[in-house]
């Protein structure tokens, strides 16, 4: 729904049809993935398929590899327990 203030300071409310609203709120799966805290693609698609969220619409397409998720799944090398290797020189 949209509204404008006219010359007499009254709000004129414009009604938007459902198709227009869906087109405006339709976003890529990557956008939803980021908005939902990097939720998995399968979980997002399930939410849409089962109408678990009002106004959630997906554009067609597959989600590209997420750099943030890849970095979050990385592991670091184990620190050496040898004290001679852990001291600054």
In the three-class reduction of DSSP (H, G, I as helix; E, B as strand; rest coil), residue 3 is classed as: strand
Query: For the chain, what is the domain count?
Result: 1
Q: What share of the chain is helix, strand, coil (3-state, %, to 5)?
A: 40, 15, 50
Q: Token pair of 31, please?
A: 């956008």
39 found inside a domain: yes
27 found inside a domain: yes
CB 58 within 8 A of CB 88: no
Each residue's pLDDT tens digit in the chain (89 positions)? 677 888 888 888 877 676 676 666 788 999 999 999 999 999 999 999 999 988 888 888 888 999 999 998 888 777 777 777 656 55
| pLDDT value of residue 54 | 83
31 found inside a domain: yes
| pLDDT value of residue 14 | 77
57 found inside a domain: yes
């Amino acid at each position: 729904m949209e509204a404008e203030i006219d010359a007499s300071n009254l709000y004129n409310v414009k009604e938007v049809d459902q198709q227009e609203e869906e087109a405006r709120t339709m976003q890529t799966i990557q956008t939803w993935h980021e908005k939902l805290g990097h939720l998995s693609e399968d979980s997002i698609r399930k939410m849409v398929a089962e109408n678990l969220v009002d106004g959630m619409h997906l554009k067609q397409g597959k989600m590209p590899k997420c750099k943030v998720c890849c970095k979050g799944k990385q592991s670091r090398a184990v620190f050496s327990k040898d004290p001679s290797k852990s001291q600054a020189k």
